[in-house]
Each structure stands twice: as structure tokens, then as C-alpha cells.
Amino acid sequence: MVELMKMDSPRSRPMRKPNLILFSSLLTGILAPLLTATAASLTYPKSKKADQKDNYHGTWVADPYRWLENSDSSETKEWIEAQNKVTFGYLSKIPGRDQIKQRLTRLWNYERYGVPFKEGGRYFIAKNDGLQNQSVLYTMESLDAPLRLLLDPNKLSPDGTVALTTYAISDDGNLMAYGLSTSGSDWQEWRVRDVRTAEDLQDRLQWVKFSGASWSRDGKGFFYSRYDEPANGNKLQSVNYFQKLYFHRIGTPQTEDELIYHRPDRKEWGFRGEVSKDGQYLVIRVWQGTDRRDRIFYKDLKSAGAAVVELLNDFDAAYDFIGNDGPVFWFHTDLNAARGRVIAIDTTKPERSNWKEIIPEAQEKLSNVSVINNQFIASYLKDARSLVKIFQLGGAMTQAVDLPGIGTASGFRGKRADNETFYSFTSFTSPGAIYRFDFKSAGSTIFRQPNVDFNPADYETKQIFYSSKDGTRVPMFITHKKGVKLDGANPTYLFGYGGFNISLTPSFSVANLVWMEMGGVFALPNLRGGSEYGKEWHEGGMKLKKQNVFDDFISAAEWLIANKYTRSDKLVIGGGSNGGLLVGACMTQRPELFGAALPAVGVMDMLRFHKFTIGWAWTSDYGSADNAEEFKALHAYSPLHNLKSGARYPATLVTTADHDDRVVPAHSFKFAAALQEAHQGDAPVMIRIETKAGHGAGKPTTKQIEEAADRWAFVVRALNISAVAGAASKTSSNGH
């Protein structure tokens, strides 16, 4: 799947000490100069306009900034340099910016771990000492053994812009296939490392994107997917079609890799090969864009020359392979179950009449299922909060896993014979702790506990439900320091996503914590288009119903104002990728409702998004301008096409990156140029263009801190937050 927000990540995922300095006291006395500052004196770079118009089903649409789509042209590079000069010049002169960065750096400097897993008798775990640009991968011979360095991505580049994107360990634990991304690109180079020596073999695989790796049982090679090398050499913009599934044998060049499956008649099909835990089958998940419906094929690896069998080819539902019991395959599916269920299909008699339901649909949304200790571990969402249950293989529930509170639990990986598993638990005010679940005792113990420079007891989180424009009941989390007065004057950060079947659940963020330390309120609504309530919730925010997502977000803002949390001039909205589209659409539809807007790596041109890299894949969620009816809906909310000349827009900091090959930066370039031309108010509207960075995955810690410092400094100045110093200067209740 190639949704906007995330792609394959390392199996042991890195998570995102006390000595609390009074961060807010550093701000005391420095905010006064900000209160009367405006952007009236700003001079934006000149963005030339070309006479470019396109005919969409009889409607002519101007596209005067089309030339900015060529990111390699000297003209575009000059524009980028000029915009960054204005933006960074403006940000660097904000008096509180350096103090905000200092506090971010201090808070970020805490030891954190990914969720460990076991393979071949060894444990593997990622760890970040605090300010390392990239988390480091280690191995252990036992849980109480010392960590042994396996791979340190920080040594692969001086500025931390080479990231470990994903990896897979052979069954015997001796070899690791791993993918590296440079400067945030989705393109990966794959290598192989000997776990015993921590040395690389000679294997190198190129042009890999949207792929993991799955080892053969004998450890002689692995299955992976790749594209052909872009013909025009423009690897950051060329459209990605015709993915192919290969087997790479260790010690051989990539040119000798065995082509396992491809479909030259189906350019949009992509393939994810997974070897069953018993080594018997290669299960091939066939995906088509971001559509959650799948096809499932398989190949018998124990039968020489066996053909690929098309097991599920109706493209009628989502099917996630959980595991197998011989020829019986278990799937997590939403077929006839909008919130998900578990079924069994016997491949020797695959007719639908023979399918068996193992775990029926529940009131909660089923998010993930694994098989460990000969039991199903099922993770659910109950109003966007984690709930974990254990079932026998026959389907009878045995127990619920006791979680530490209201938050997000993730992990629960392992093999069928394992008697332990690990998971992380996090919330808005709880950094990700790692827990070990022992099936013998049926209980959890803390394996690693982070220690961050703040007191969680100073904060509170509540979940409320509000009505959207059409009456739909939508949940929203609200987090802030205790004692916040509901006087309508609190600076409030409203963050959203709303798309691609992705759920936003409670998670810890250093950047958001700093916002709350400054007296800010953080609000997270669970908009339609996401996965919080299953298939129907997702479909309620797709294609011709996409406006529902924006209505949900606008209604959240109106609820916060009506209930005296904030007011329009103290309200900032933010979101990234599809969430950047959300911000762009809402600020153009209701510019008077918000004081500031932070659209990050957003899809801003809804008429041309499908013409670059993997953008075609999003048509399953958005629709396409090639379709007359869908064009009308897209044109009606496309942020780029709904800016109105002479309007007063909220202070806006558009952010993007030069190596973003998921949502190409031309979206943000064109939107920023058009916004600067249309906007007639004094509020600053500018673009921050990061270099040697991509869509967000693998971004070095240093760049994350710099960007967060710029973001909050911009907001503090834009919203004239005079109460920040006072709100944040209160001594924490932990006495520091």
C-alpha cells in the first residue's frame, strides 16, 4: 500500500531525563516585541505567471505556476533560494526562536527504544541515545545480555540524512537484509549484513520502492519488489508503474535475480511477497494504489516449478494474511464486516462456501492480528484507543491484555511457537514504554521505560464527541496543562489527517509537549476518511464525500471556540501530507476561522497529483480529474484552485522538502506562489523548503528540531501569544 502518511517501516520501529529547566522563564520578557510585529514589511519573491490553461471536461482552468513543477530547472532553483532567504530571514529574527529550540533539544534528549523481536535465538532492538539523528540497531543473545551493535545509520552520512527504512532477519538469525533511504527519498538501496560479524556482504539492490523483504526458510535469499530504472533519469518525479516481484539469491548480482511474478497488462498492480512461517508458501499480496481491497495469490515453495495460484482475485475486500496451519490460510478481512473479522480459507477447497469465520466482527474496529503461542493476538480500536484481546485458534476469547491506560499499544509480533511478545504503549503525555507480555503468566512487565524532562501529572487528556455539519458524531482528544481556564483565550493547535484508512491515535510528541508547556492546548479530532471506525468511516471521507473530512475539521474548530477553549485569532491548524491538503482546503474555505495555518508536504493541486511518482495510487481515495464528476468535486476544494484574490488568509507557513518523491514539492511551490499573490492581509504567508529531506520518514533529529522550532516561533509571533511566558513559567509539580 502506498498511502500518503506512511510506508513500510523497520520491523523494530524506533520510538519517538528529569532536570526540568524553566523553559518559559527563558521566554519571559522576550515576547513583548512580537506583539506588535506584522508582516506588512515583508517583500515576497516575484513568482512569474505563465499563460497556461487546461480544458477539464469543458471547464478551462488556469495553471500559471506550472513551471514550478520542474524542480531541476535553474528558474525553480532560483525561486526556492529566494523563498528560503525570505522565510529563514524572517524566522531567524523572532526573539524567542532560539529559546524554543533549546527546550526542544533538551526534551528530545532522552533514551528511547523500538519494540524488540526475536529471530533465530537472538533479540533485535533499535535504540536512540537521545539526540542521535537516526536510531541504532542492536542485537542481544538474551534479554539480560548487553547490546551488541549491528548497524549504526549515523555513520553512513555526516548529516544523518541516510536512514534505515526497513529490514528483515533470516530464520536462523544470521543474516539481515535492509533498505537505506538517502535524503528522505522513497527509493531504497538494499544491502545484506552478516549478523554475526556486523559486516556487509557484497549484495546491492537498486530501484526498490514500497517493498519489504521476506527470507526463504533456508536463508539462501529473499523475496522483494522493485521497479525498472526511470527511463528519463528523473527518479524524484517519474511515475511509478509496473512493479515486479523478485527473488534475490545471496552472493549473486541483482541482474541474476529471479523474476517471480509481474503483470505487464496491469501497470498499477504492486506486489508484496511474504513467506509463510513454515516456509511452505510464498503469499503474494497484490495491491492497487491505496485502495484497501486486495488480491491474494500464492506459490508452493516446496514444489519445484509450482505456478502462482490466484486464490482471491475478486478485488472485493481487504485481506491481510495472518498465518497458516498447513494449507489453511488465516486472513484479517473486512469482507461483510466493516469493522473487521478473521476467516480461514482451506486452499485445497477454496470455494467461498467452505470459508470459516474464526473471530466475528465486534463493536470495536479490528486493526491487527498476529499468531503467537498458538493464539490470536487481536488489536482493536475503541473510539481511537487501543484494546487488545487474545483468542484461541478456534476463535474463543481467553482474555484481554491489561494496558497501562488510555493510549496506543503497538507491536505484538512473534512466531506461533513463541511464549512471549513485546509491545509499546504511548499516549499524549506518556513517552513510549516497552512491555514484555509473558503468555505463561498472562501478564505484562516493563522492559524499557523512557525518562523525559517533564512531569506527566501536570497534564490532562479528555475525549469529547462533537457533531459535524451533517450531524455525524466525531471524537476528539484534547490535551493541555491542568488548570487551563476556559476563557476563550488559549492558544490551541488543532491537528488532523482524515484519509487513506489511517487512524490517528494517542501518541507522544516532544514538539507538542513544548507547545503545551507554553500554555497551548492540543486537539486531535478523528475525522472521517480514517480507519477509527472501520470501512464505513473511511468511505465517508472518500472521493465525492471528501468534503465531509473538511466539515469535520471545521466543526472541531467551531466546537473549541464555542466551548471557550480558544478563539479564531488564537487557533492554529496543522497537518501533513493528506493532512496538508486538509489544512489547505480548510484555510481557503474558512480563512476567517483560523489565526494560523501549518500545511506540511500537502497535496495542494488536486487536478494534477496523479501525474507524479506514486500520485496515481491516490485516485482510489480522491478520485481523478480525468473523471468528469470527480473533477467537479476535486476542483471545488483543491487548495491551489480556491485561493481568492484580495482575501485575507491566516498567517501561513507552508513546509516541504526538495527530495519529497511521495508528494512532490511542486504542490507546495505552486500553492505558496498563488497564496502570496492572492493574500492582501498583513499576516505572513511563506514557504519553508527543507534540503536533503523527503516526505518525513527517516528525517534526522537535528532537522526535526529545527523545523519544530521554526514552526512554534512562527505561531507565537503570528498569534501574538502574550500569555505564553506566564503560562509556561509555572514551576512543575515535580519540584524542579
Q: Which residues contact residue 263 at a Cβ distance below 8 angstroms, ignoring those fewer than 6 apart?
A: 269
- CA dist 386 to 54, 321, 364, 392, 457, Å? 47, 21, 10, 20, 21
Other Cβ atoms less than 10 A from the Cβ of 128: the count is: 22
Q: Look at strands 341-346 and 328-333 and give their pairing.
A: antiparallel
Q: How far apart are CA 466 and CA 560, in angstroms?
A: 10
What phi, psi does 87 have (nearest 5°)? Answer: -65, -50
User: What's 731's DSSP letter?
Assistant: P
CA dist 116 and 55 (Å) reads 54
The yes-or-no answer on residue 695 being catalytic is: yes
Is the Cβ–Cβ distance between 221 and 250 less than 8 Å? yes
Annotated catalytic, 660? yes
Question: What residues form DSSP beta bridges with 474?
Answer: 466
Helix (H), strand (E) at residue 725: helix 724-728
Nearest-CA neighbor of 200 among 250, 136, 135, 129?
A: 250
Nearest to 530 by CA among 497, 495, 496, 502: 502
How many angstroms separate the CA atoms of 225 and 241, rounded? 12
- Of the candidates 12, 181, 444, 577, the residue annotated as catalytic is 577
* List 186, 660, 661, 710, catalytic entry: 660
Return the closest-CA partner of residue 183 out of 208, 206, 162: 162
Distant-in-sequence, close-in-space partners of 625: CB < 8 Å, separation ≥ 6: 56, 606, 607, 608, 610, 631, 634, 635
Q: Is 318 helix (H, G, I), strand (E, B) or coil?
A: coil
Integer Cα distance of 689 and 673 in angstroms: 13
Round to whole Å and give the CA distance between 572 and 351.
54
Give kind and range of the element (H or E) at residue 143.
none
Which residues lie closer than 8 Å to 693 by C-beta, 6 or more apart?
161, 183, 184, 657, 658, 659, 660, 699, 703
For residues 379 and 320, give the distance between their C-alpha atoms in angstroms, rounded to a whole number: 14
Mapping DSSP to helix (H, G, I), strand (E, B) and coil, where does residue 543 land? helix
Active-site residues: which are they? Answer: 577, 660, 695
